[in-house]
Structures are given as structure tokens and as C-alpha cells.
Amino acid sequence: MNILLDTNILFHLSKDLSFRLLTTIINPDNQIMYVSIVSIAELKSIAMQNNWGVKKLGSMFDVLNRVNIIEIN
């Protein structure tokens, strides 16, 4: 089974610095995860509008490094 993560899930995952939510609830079987490039743009916009700090931005990029990005045509 593949997992497609939406913006709201990425938002909550970026708050979880330990990745516990990701590894125990969302993806306990370590399945392939995907994210739309649009969701990434939305998340980055939210981050800029809310002046996220270094830790939260780092957590966001750590999550994004674990997923496959789906581009739009």
C-alpha cells in the first residue's frame, strides 16, 4: 500500500520532532509515501507566513526528505 500525504498531515508531522506520529500511526509498516508538489508549496507558504523557527523548518525538511514528490502536469 502506498501513502499520499496531504498538506494538513505534513503540517502536523512538522510539529513532531521525534517522528513518533509518522512511524507509529501514519506509516508503521514503512510503506512508500508520496506528496504532491502543491502540498509542499502550501506547507512552505504556511511556514513563511507564520515565521517558523529553525527546529520546525528542519523537521519539515526531514519529513520531505522521506517522501517521493509527485509533480503536476
CB-based contact 11:46 (threshold 8 Å): yes
Whether 18 shows a pLDDT value over 80: the answer reads no
| DSSP labels, the chain | --EEE-HHHHHHHHH-TT-HHIIIII-TT---EEEEHHHHHHHHHHHHHTT--HHHHHHHHHHHTTSEEEP--
The sign of the CA dihedral 62, 63, 68, 72 is negative
Tell me the pTM. Answer: 0.81
Domain that includes residue 23, residue range: 3-70
- The residues with which 68 forms a beta bridge, in sequence order, are 34
Give the chain's domain count: 1
Percent of the chain scoring above 90 in pLDDT: 44
